[in-house]
């Protein structure tokens, strides 16, 4: 079994119920966007492949006034494949952090630009905290009785913990480079 993570993200959404490519995109956007994303360019070809491999079935639903929907449903084989993947240890790959890359080489920047880099990072994490409110609410409202709701909310709590840690780190960095600035100012005056 190939280990394409997008396949399993899509199978995962299908495990909650039948859906079209469009639905899947929307679900991922609304409920998983804090740690996952998929574009149509991935979704549609993968759905076709899932159907060919009998991990999902497809049927066309006619609609009036709207384009036809291709609705996919997970099969028993699909559920088995999903469960198998879920129980494998996650593949480890370095997560890249562009802000850290820029900070690492920020000797090539002036102090203002470096401060702005960190301030922007901090601000982005603050925005994420706000987004989590919305995601949490939308998860709770969409299916308040769903037995898996608790797991969904735990992913939000992960995002919050991470964002808060990054904000604290940013504050620490800003204090440090601030202190350095002041020290430099003093030594310039003394010189």
By a kind-dependent CB cut-off of 5 to 8 A, residue 70 interacts, out of its own copies, DNA, none, with: DNA
Contact pick of 46, 47, 82, 135 for its own copies (by CB under 8 A): 82
Site string for its own copies, 91-120 (x = CB under 8 A): xxxxxxxxxxxxxxxxxxx---xx--x--x
Cβ pair 117, 99 in contact under 8 A: yes
Task: Please give the size of the binding site for DNA, defined by CB under 7 A.
Answer: 31
Instruction: Find where tokens 């879920």 sit.
Output: 86
The dihedral through the CA atoms of 137, 36, 76, 60 has a sign that is positive
Q: How many CB atoms are closer than 10 A to CB 10?
A: 29
Contacts of 147 (CB under 8 A, 6+ apart): none
CA 158-149-11 angle, 5° bins: 90
Residue 93 tokens read as: 């790959």
Contacts of DNA in 67-126 (CB under 7 A): 67-71, 93-94, 96
Tell whether residue 47 is a contact of DNA (CB under 7 A). yes
- Which residues are at the interface with its own copies (CB under 8 A)? 5, 8-9, 12, 15, 31-37, 79, 82-83, 86-87, 89-109, 113-114, 117, 120-121, 124, 147-148, 150-152, 154-155, 157-158, 161-162, 164-166, 168-169, 172-173, 176, 180
């Amino acid at each position: 079994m190939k280990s394409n993570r997008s396949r399993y993200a899509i199978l995962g959404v299908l495990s909650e119920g039948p859906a079209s490519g469009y639905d899947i995109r929307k679900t991922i956007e609304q409920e998983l966007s804090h740690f996952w994303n998929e574009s149509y360019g991935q979704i549609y070809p993968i759905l076709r492949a899932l159907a060919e491999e009998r991990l999902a079935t497809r049927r066309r639903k006619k609609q009036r006034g709207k384009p036809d929907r291709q609705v996919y449903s997970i099969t028993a084989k699909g559920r088995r494949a999903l469960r198998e993947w879920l129980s494998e240890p996650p593949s480890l790959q370095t997560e890249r952090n562009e802000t850290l890359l820029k900070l690492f080489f920020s000797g090539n920047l002036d102090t203002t630009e470096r401060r702005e880099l960190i301030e922007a990072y901090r601000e982005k994490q603050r925005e994420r905290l706000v987004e989590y409110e919305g995601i949490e609410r939308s998860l709770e409202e969409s299916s308040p009785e769903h037995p898996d709701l608790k797991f969904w909310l735990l992913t939000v709590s992960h995002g919050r913990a991470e964002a808060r840690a990054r904000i604290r780190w940013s504050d620490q960095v800003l204090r440090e480079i601030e202190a350095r600035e002041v020290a430099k100012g003093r030594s310039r005056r003394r010189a």
